[in-house]
Amino acid sequence: MTEEELEATVSSNAPAECCAALVKLARQRGGPDNITLQVLRIGPDPQP
């Protein structure tokens, strides 16, 4: 995954949706079954 793809995914999705999209992409590109990631939003919640 390129940095541009990663940035586009995390900047346009909520953390939970981002995780699902990144895991799906990793599996599509041949990642092993044991894919782990964590996405954190730091700062104020844009949707109070």
Give the domain extent around 32.
1-39
Mean predicted confidence (pLDDT) in 3-17: 88
In a domain, 47, yes or no: no
The per-residue pLDDT for 46 is 64
The per-residue pLDDT for 45 is 67
Q: What is the pTM of this model?
A: 0.71
Cβ neighbour number for residue 22 with a 10 Å cutoff:
20
Residues 30-45 have pLDDT tens digits of 988 788 888 887 877 6
State CA 39 to chain mean position distance. 6
Mean predicted confidence (pLDDT) in 2-31: 89
In a domain, 35, yes or no: yes
pLDDT band at 13 (very low <50, low <70, confident <90, very high): confident
How many angstroms separate the Cα of 35 from the Cα of each of 1, 3, 11, 14, 24?
14, 18, 21, 19, 10
d(CA 34, CA 17): 19
Q: What domain count does the chain have? A: 1
